[in-house]
Amino acid sequence: EAEVAQSPRYKITEKSQAVAFWCDPISGHATLYWYRQILGQGPELLVQFQDESVVDDSQLPKDRFSAERLKGVDSTLKIQPAELGDSAMYLCASSSQDDTIHGYTFGSGTRLTVV
Amino acid sequence: SQQGEEDPQALSIQEGENATMNCSYKTSINNLQWYRQNSGRGLVHLILIRSNEREKHSGRLRVTLDTSKKSSSLLITASRAADTASYFCATDGYDYKLSFGAGTTVTVRA
């Protein structure tokens, strides 16, 4: 079964350092999402891509976060500098046109701990 | 901000019992979806119900939707230890952006 790949699985970084996460969506899925999930809460959308274009980044803290999907396939989410409050699970998901019916497919996430 | 709110926050049941959790939301929706998340993992899509549907079944899952009350329920029948997880409702409006609730943590005791 097709999966959304994310790496790394876990990341520990010191505050003020830079950190990057990678996501490879299901082949052919045009839409890619990055969500942040704080422990005990539901996921919150950070950024949505349609192919290589950003559709929604209204919740992305742009002073420190950036996201790109240069060729419309895999994507990178970067935080620079990391802050203690950025500790969370970062989830990537992808969907096709049909997934308004079938739902999103999520990766296993990257657990970030900022110390 | 999160659109949906699940109730209860946590639920503990015996294996074989049914588990029911509810979701309330604030604004009009296009679809409502339920996801499961095992500890420390990604979310798995369980079921989607459209705004013009009232009930949907998938295996041991039954979902209802009452758009007049802006609420949905998820019933898991004959629960198993493997059903231990957090369950999230997610709504999307006509922009198809998913908004998740805070989830219900279900523990199934053997």
Residues of B whose CB is below 8 A from A91: 42-43
Distance CA A62, CA A79 (A): 9
Residue B76 above 60 pLDDT?
yes
Cα B69–chain centre separation: 16
**Averaged pLDDT of chain B:** 92
Tens-digit pLDDT profile for residues A30-75: 999 999 999 999 999 999 999 999 999 999 999 999 999 988 899 9
pLDDT score at A99: 57
Closest alpha carbon within chain B to A56: B97
pLDDT score at A2: 80
As a whole-number percent, the residues of chain A with pLDDT over 70 amount to 95
Q: CB–CB of A103 and B97 under 8 A? A: no
Closest alpha carbon within chain B to A6: B42
Residues of A whose CB is below 8 A from B102: 40-42
Going by pLDDT thresholds of 50, 70 and 90, the confidence category of residue B41 is: confident
C-alpha dihedral over A36, A38, A43, A47, to 10 degrees?
Answer: -20
Stretch B77-94: mean pLDDT: 93
Asked whether the beta carbons of A82 and A13 are under 8 A apart, the reply is yes
pLDDT score at B4: 73
As a whole-number percent, the residues of chain B with pLDDT over 70 amount to 95
The mean-pLDDT minimum among A60-74, A84-98, A99-113 falls in A99-113
Going by pLDDT thresholds of 50, 70 and 90, the confidence category of residue A84 is: very high
pLDDT score at A75: 98
pLDDT score at B93: 75
Residue A101 above 70 pLDDT?
no
Q: CB–CB of A103 and B48 under 8 A? A: yes
Interface mutation vs chain A, best among B21, B31, B35, B43, most A CBs within 10 Å? B43
Q: Write out the residues of chain A at the interface with chain B, using a CB-CB cutoff of 8 A.
A: 4, 6, 33, 40-45, 48, 56, 89, 91, 93, 100-109, 111
B80: Cβ–Cβ under 8 A, 6 or more apart, which residues?
B15, B108
B107: Cβ–Cβ under 8 A, 6 or more apart, which residues?
B10, B11, B12, B13, B84
Other C-beta atoms closer than 10 Å to the C-beta of A97 total 9
Residues of B whose CB is below 8 A from A45: 97-99
Q: Which DSSP letter does residue B29 get?
A: -
